[in-house]
Amino acid sequence: MATANIKEVARHAGVSLGTVSNVLNRPDTVAPATRQRVLDAITTLGYVRNDSARQLRAGHSRTVAIVVLDVANPFFTDVVRGAEQVIEEAGAMLVVCNSGEDRARERRHLELLEEQRVRGVLITPVGHGPQPNLDKLIDRGIPVVLVDRGTGRANRCSVAVDDVLGGRLAMDHLLDQGHQRIAYLGGPLSLAQVADRHAGAAAALDDRGGTAELRVAVTTSLTVAAGRRAAEELLALPVRQRPTAVFCANDLIALGVLQELTARGLRVPADVAIVGYDDIEFADAAAVPLSSVRQPRDQLGRTAAELLLEEAESGDTHRHRHVVFQPELVVRRSSEQPRRARR
């Protein structure tokens, strides 16, 4: 069906085009009788606003985008749900884009979003370092809020969880359990989350000044499959060098490690202890319930969305803010085995 437009509605109701627009946008400025006539015309013609035309006129759309590293990662789905809630309350629409930890895909998405003149972008960027794409958006006046990534940059807001602290918490815990050979599993290191959590762990180790050592095994991504492969590598080591505990950059990796170790006959935590990160819903339901560093996921999303809307409303008067949440260690069976001296 050739969709009816505002002009046909006007003709059908015997009013001018501008009046129909007023009925739609400022109903109180038009007399009740005419208003009703217009509304009737709208329903009989099945008229539906054309958003392209509105946007064109307005100069920007009413949608907000969130670009995440992995749509299938429960951490991000929770962040998305938090953001969604706030955005929808504001009458806007949230579209979810998946960069898949791939810079090229991220760039492509940002280009498309820029063409669409989106109202704003929430993003967990793939890399750290300079981000020309994001700067371009900001130059164009599109608000950008960094999610799960703190920054000192003055030209954008951010919400984050203190990943260095999170790394510390996990490492301190494992050291407290007496572990001497510990591995950090995660990657790619270009992800700031991965790097920061490692930095925290390394710092905790340093502070102790003991003989414990931290080996790093870099994975290609933060998925269950990557965790499985990483576990295989650990198992390939001579037993005397094999870590007695692993700290994983996220829970998906931890679950992969757990699966692979168990499949190969090792016991968790007796042979190898595991601490994950994110405390996703499935951590608690795992074969051995997983210790994990918990992040306030949906609050992260909600706050990010609020900052974005605030910036979009207030325009130039806006002062960028950087919100940092504190993580929290949740200890479960995967790391809790009481143990004495370890060798």
Partner DNA sequence: CCGAATAGATGAAACGTTTTAGCCGCTATA
Partner DNA sequence: TATAGCGGCTAAAACGTTTCATCTATTCGG
Omega within 30 of 0 (cis) for the link into 74: no
H or E stretch covering 103: helix 103-115
Pairwise CA distance, residues 327 & 329, whole Å: 7
Asked whether position 1 contacts DNA by CB under 7 A, the answer is no
Choosing from 50, 220, 241, 326, the residue that interacts with DNA (CB under 7 A) is 50
| Residues forming the site for its own copies (CB under 8 A) | 1, 3, 46, 48-53, 55-56, 61, 71-72, 74, 77-78, 80-81, 84, 88, 93, 95-98, 105, 109, 111-112, 114-117, 136, 139-141, 224, 255-256, 258-259, 281-282, 284-289
- Mark residues 27-46: x for contact with DNA by CB under 7 A, - for none: --xxx-xxx-----------
Asked whether position 49 contacts DNA by CB under 7 A, the answer is yes
Provide the edge-to-edge strand list for the sheet that holds 213-218.
Answer: 213-218, 181-186, 245-248, 273-278, 291-294, 328-330
How far does Cα 74 stand from its chain's mean position?
A: 10
Asked whether position 184 contacts DNA by CB under 7 A, the answer is no
Pairwise CA distance, residues 293 & 198, whole Å: 13
Choosing from 36, 40, 44, 56, the residue that interacts with DNA (CB under 7 A) is 56
**Residue 7 binds which one of DNA, its own copies, none, with CB within 5 to 8 A depending on kind?**
DNA
Which of 200, 202, 199, 191 shows the shortest CA–CA distance to 226? 191
Q: Which two tokens stand for residue 31?
A: 């007399």
Per DSSP, the residues of 127-195 read S-S--HHHHHHHHTT--EEEES-----TTSEEEEE-HHHHHHHHHHHHHHTT-SEEEEEE--TTSHHHH
Cβ closest to DNA, residue 93 vs residue 216? 93
Cβ closest to DNA, residue 18 vs residue 127? 18
How many residues touch DNA under the rule CB under 7 A: the total is: 31
Site for DNA in 64-93 (CB under 7 A): none
**Residue 202 binds which one of DNA, its own copies, none, with CB within 5 to 8 A depending on kind?**
none
For DNA, the binding residues (CB under 7 A) are 3, 5-7, 14-22, 24-25, 29-31, 33-35, 47-50, 53-54, 56-59
